[in-house]
């Protein structure tokens, strides 16, 4: 399947690359100078990355634990590795596709000796920082709204960061009920897989939660036979707290294993945040 490709300059700093399901915002600087030409070249590279991954869609549509022979594509392999790294082998590697492509584009740019790179693939963000650089990322408590509840302030204690979000109402299906789960990790690929896993863990039994087999909603889904959430009615405060605790337990385990730096889980008005990132994530007001 081929998709129409487009590259658009949005402003003095931003290039938008669109191809099928991919909507990639690309920004990069040499010190304080935007590098628009390199961002355009990176946009072209992103199309090749997406095409390369798409060639292995059949394999990548299997749960990671059932994949025996690795596909001959670096990004496809990275997707598999990221899902396996978080220990959720019943996920398919497609759980990490957006973050993996964001990482690849960010690495392409950072390899040109730029000092700061921010690549946003529909909310899955790859950041690269040279010495002395910082980045600020707004965190949404609802994945389908623009409101910002918290700010993550990232510095050069590491050169690579990934900040990704998953939840009900996002581009992908979820088995959970989280309004938004944002994960911070060393790269966007593993953050993407972790956000999916933690969002899936944000669940509780309640008759107001409506789930359907994923294939009823999308016959081409990689989640054949898996029930996904389509609607959530009114939940009691206790049920919401319980669901957030379930997700926090998963996030804390990944923090202890040093797979992720931390996570923020939002379920309507109930928030949970891992202790591990409270020094870099604060309320926006």
Per residue in 23-42, pLDDT (tens digit) is 999 999 999 999 999 999 99
Per residue in 121-155, pLDDT (tens digit) is 999 999 999 999 999 999 998 988 888 999 999 99
Please say if the pLDDT value at position 178 is more than 90: yes
| 64 φ/ψ angles, rounded to the nearest 5 degrees | -60, -35
Please say if the pLDDT value at position 101 is more than 90: yes
pLDDT band at 2 (very low <50, low <70, confident <90, very high): low
Question: Global pTM?
Answer: 0.94
What is the percent of the chain with per-residue pLDDT over 70, rounded to a whole number? 99
Mean pLDDT in residue range 174-190: 96
Asked if the structure places residue 285 within a domain, the reply is: no
CATH number for position 236: 3.10.520.10
Asked if the structure places residue 172 within a domain, the reply is: yes
DSSP alpha helices (H): ranges in 214-285?
214-217, 237-256
Mean pLDDT in residue range 149-175: 93
Task: Specify the number of domains making up the chain.
Answer: 1
Query: Looking at 14-18, 157-161, 226-230, 245-249, which range is the least confident one?
Result: 226-230
Q: Which two tokens stand for residue 124?
A: 């899955």
- By residue range, what is the domain housing residue 165? 5-280
Asked if the structure places residue 144 within a domain, the reply is: yes
pLDDT of 80 reads: 96
Please say if the pLDDT value at position 1 is more than 60: no
Mean pLDDT in residue range 265-283: 95
Helix (H, G, I), strand (E, B) or coil at 161: strand
pLDDT band at 188 (very low <50, low <70, confident <90, very high): very high
- Closest Cα to residue 70, out of 160, 62, 221, 120? 62
Task: Give the other-Cβ count within 10 Å of 40's Cβ.
Answer: 16
DSSP-assigned letter for residue 203 = -
């Amino acid at each position: 399947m081929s998709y129409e490709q487009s590259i658009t300059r949005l402003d003095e700093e931003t290039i938008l690359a669109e191809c099928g399901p991919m909507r990639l915002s690309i920004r990069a600087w040499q010190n304080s100078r935007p590098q628009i030409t390199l961002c355009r070249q990176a946009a072209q590279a992103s199309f090749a990355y997406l095409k390369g991954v798409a060639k292995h869609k059949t394999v990548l549509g299997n749960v990671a634990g059932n994949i025996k022979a690795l596909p001959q594509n670096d990004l496809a392999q990275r997707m598999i590795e990221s899902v396996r790294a978080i220990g959720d082998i019943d996920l398919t590697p497609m759980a990490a596709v957006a973050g993996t492509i964001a990482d690849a584009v960010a690495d392409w740019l950072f390899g040109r000796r730029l000092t700061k790179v921010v690549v946003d693939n529909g909310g899955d963000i790859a950041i690269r920082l040279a010495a002395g650089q910082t980045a600020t990322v707004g965190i949404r408590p609802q994945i389908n709204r623009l409101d910002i509840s918290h700010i993550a302030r990232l510095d050069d204690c590491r050169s690579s960061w990934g900040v990704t979000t998953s939840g009900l109402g996002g581009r992908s299906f979820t088995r959970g009920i989280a309004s938004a789960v944002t994960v911070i990790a060393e790269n966007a690929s593993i953050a993407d897989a972790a956000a999916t896993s933690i969002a899936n863990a944000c669940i509780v039994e309640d008759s107001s939660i409506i789930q359907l087999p994923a294939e009823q909603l999308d016959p081409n889904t990689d989640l054949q036979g898996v029930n996904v959430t389509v609607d959530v009615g009114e939940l009691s405060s206790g049920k919401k707290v319980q669901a957030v605790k379930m997700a926090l337990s998963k996030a804390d385990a990944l923090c202890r294993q040093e797979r992720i730096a931390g996570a923020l889980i939002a379920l309507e008005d109930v928030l949970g945040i891992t202790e591990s990132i409270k020094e870099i994530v604060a309320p926006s007001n």
